Structure 1
Amino acid sequence: MTWLEQTMVGFDTETTGVSTANDRIVTAAVITRTGSGPDASVTTRTWLINPGIPIPPGATAVHGISDAMVQKDGQAPADALEEIATVLAGALSSGFPVVAFNAQFDISILEAELARTGLPSLASRLATDDIRPVVDPLVLDRHLDRWRKGKRKLVNMCETYGVEVVAEDLHAADADVLATLDVTQAMASKYPAMASVALNDLHDQQVEAHRKWATEFSAWLTSKGKVDDLPSPQWPLGVALANHGD
């Protein structure tokens, strides 16, 4: 039995913006799935969080979460973040992979939020102080199908790998997690070697694959005079957060 047939823990956040250091989580989902298809066992947990700052209209337009919603029903950040970190740390400590699309963003913003609220980091909750094993279909797709043209957003990946989704449902954290889990399964059907690689080895391969992509993409951006917001070569935790932790 391969890791794809066992328990996977999907994770996604929706936020006030795209800065892992300064923005806030407004909703998150963790879906634990064992097996695939109609016989899969699925457990879903979702959180609505009052970030304590205004949610920009542009962010609301993406994920549908408004100030009124979080003020009425949102949890306090510290309470929700502690629950999220506890669930993820439990999964990783058990050897279950955390599966996230563009995992660097979600893990980095979670660590920043934990630091901001004075809670122990996800890394510190693990015996190795190393957030692993993580599986990121975006990193794997960039590596396995490097020269494919076109966008690689989650909705594009669903189309590429034949995963049926309702595009309007995406950008809800739980819908994104389910799509990410399905894309990961579909990728493994196309690239069977994914299933045969041990999770820790696959994690290390993604570290190197992301480092190579980020280095090459940064060089290309720099050659075009675009030196702001270069991608961090560190994965799954971005180097900026590792440096200053806020």
Structure 2
Amino acid sequence: MKLNLKNPIAFFDLETTGLNVSKDRIVEIAIVKISPNGNEETKTYRINPTIPIPKESSAIHGISDEDVKDEPTFKEIGKTIAKYIEGCDLAGYNSNRFDIPLLAEEFLRADIDVDMRKRKFVDVQTIFHKMEQRTLIAAYKFYCGKDLEGAHGAEADTVATYEVLKSQLDKYEELENDIDYLSKFSTQNKNADFAGMIVFDKKGVETFNFGKNKGKAVEEVLKEQPGYYGWIMNNDFPLYTKKVLTEIKLRNFNM
């Protein structure tokens, strides 16, 4: 089934040095951009992460320090990537919980201004888990009837994710072929940041989603525990989480 698009949509997948959104870096990004007229374009970029790639990560995606030592850093190539996905909604596999938060971190580290909050996000894994409970390899076999060759390569995983979403739309009549709908359906929580550390409750109030203050309104915590802000800012939390927390703090200060 062809996607019903109002805006271009960019399916993407990251290969990284690890799974820590705050500390780890991108070593490869593949993007499949689909236009509303159905045109498809694929780009893959290798990136020098500027930190060593652990052997256990290389064992998964097959990319070593030697493979990327002469590649551009994200700071050098980030503007090219930002321009390529400009105006696009974003989609991926487990992207809401990992790829999008990490990509947002890389843009912030490189001082590249990208307002990703204006985009719609479609997480194909969430749709899959709500419908079938499987992995990407199993999803590709289940929906597309093919074995996924080159699994854990960014481009192979990205193309497979795009094909799985189209097959999901063919299989489930109750799924609407509409990016706004798919974005809402594939969202587990309504996040204020990308890492899900701060989420909106049912009343639209920003609340902490971790630690001793989980479920408590951010504004109230900042009033009652003024040192909590400093603790977060001085510890290993995602830059984007710190950015959102600072916005909330400044908003209340200005009021």
Q: TM-score, normalised by structure 2?
A: 0.69
Deviations 1:117-162 (A, max 9, x none): 2221342xxxxxx2432221111122234xx5xxx32112112213
Alignment partner of 1:78 out of 60, 64, 75: 75
Kept in 2: contact 1:32–1:43 (CA 8 A): yes
3-state SS, counterpart of residue 90 of structure 1: coil
Distance across 2 between alignment mates of 1:236 and 1:153: 26
Distance across 2 between alignment mates of 1:34 and 1:107: 20
Alignment partner of 2:99 out of 88, 101, 106: 106
Q: Indicate the larger mover: 1-10 or 25-34.
A: 1-10
Amino acid at match of 2:154: A
3-state SS, counterpart of residue 29 of structure 2: strand
3-state SS, counterpart of residue 85 of structure 2: helix
Q: Are residues 1:53 and 2:57 paired? A: no
3-state SS, counterpart of residue 53 of structure 1: coil
Alignment partner of 1:178 out of 149, 156, 159: 159
Sort the Cα spacing of 1:2 and 1:41 in 2 relative to 1 into closer, same or farther, 3 A: closer
Q: How far did 1:166 drift?
A: 3.6
Q: Are residues 1:121 and 2:114 paired? A: yes
3-state SS, counterpart of residue 158 of structure 1: helix
Q: How far did 1:15 drift?
A: 0.2
Amino acid at match of 1:53: I
Amino acid at match of 1:181: Y
Q: How far did 1:9 drift?
A: 2.2
Kept in 2: contact 1:2–1:195 (CA 8 A): no
Q: How far did 1:52 drift?
A: 0.5
Q: How far did 1:35 drift?
A: 8.6
Sort the Cα spacing of 1:156 and 1:64 in 2 relative to 1 into closer, same or farther, 3 A: same
Amino acid at match of 1:113: E
Kept in 1: contact 2:47–2:73 (CA 8 A): yes
Distance across 1 between alignment mates of 2:186 and 2:136: 18
Distance across 1 between alignment mates of 2:95 and 2:48: 22
Sort the Cα spacing of 1:166 and 1:235 in 2 relative to 1 into closer, same or farther, 3 A: farther
Deviations 1:8-66 (A, max 9, x none): 42111100001111100000011123599xxx643111111111000001111111111
Deviations 1:184-214 (A, max 9, x none): 0111111123234x3223322332xx13xxx
Q: Are residues 1:140 and 2:127 paired? A: yes
Alignment partner of 1:238 out of 192, 195, 207: 195
Distance across 2 between alignment mates of 1:41 and 1:163: 24
Sort the Cα spacing of 1:161 and 1:185 in 2 relative to 1 into closer, same or farther, 3 A: same
Distance across 2 between alignment mates of 1:182 and 1:3: 11
Q: How far did 1:238 drift?
A: 1.5
Between structures 1 and 2, the one with greater helix share: 1
Q: TM-score, normalised by structure 1?
A: 0.72
Residue 10 of structure 2: aligned partner: 9
The number of residues matched between the two structures is 201
Residue 126 of structure 1: aligned partner: none
Distance across 1 between alignment mates of 2:62 and 2:92: 20
Distance across 1 between alignment mates of 2:58 and 2:163: 26
Kept in 2: contact 1:112–1:245 (CA 8 A): no
Sort the Cα spacing of 1:91 and 1:102 in 2 relative to 1 into closer, same or farther, 3 A: same
Unaligned runs of 5+ in 2: 198-237, 245-255
Higher relative contact order (CA 8 A, sep 6+): 1
RMSD: 2.8
Rg larger in structure: 2
Amino acid at match of 1:3: L
Question: After TM superposition, where is structure 1 displaced by more than 4 Å over at least 4 residues in a row?
Answer: 4-7
